[in-house]
Amino acid sequence: MPIYICQGHYSRDALRGMLAKPENRETAVAKLFEMVGGRLLAWYFTLDENGWLVIAETPDERTMSAAMIVALAGGGVTDMKTTAVLTSSEAMEAFRTAGDIGGSFKSAGQG
pLDDT, position 102: 81
Type and span of the H or E element at 49? none
pLDDT, position 111: 67
Residue type, 71: A
Residue 109 lies in a domain: no
Residue 107 lies in a domain: no
Number of domains in the chain: 1
Q: Rounded to an integer, what distance in angstroms lies between the CA atom of residue 43 and that of residue 27? A: 9
| Per-residue pLDDT tens listing for the chain (111 residues) | 999 999 999 999 999 999 999 999 999 999 999 999 999 999 999 998 879 999 999 999 999 999 999 999 999 999 999 999 999 999 999 999 999 898 788 888 886
* φ, ψ (nearest 5 deg) of residue 108: -55, 135
Residue 38 lies in a domain: yes
pLDDT, position 50: 76
Residue 104 lies in a domain: no
CB contact set of 19 (below 8 Å; sequence gap of 6+): none
Query: Which domain covers residue 12, as residue numbers?
Result: 3-92
pLDDT, position 104: 84
Residue 100 lies in a domain: no
Residue 22 lies in a domain: yes
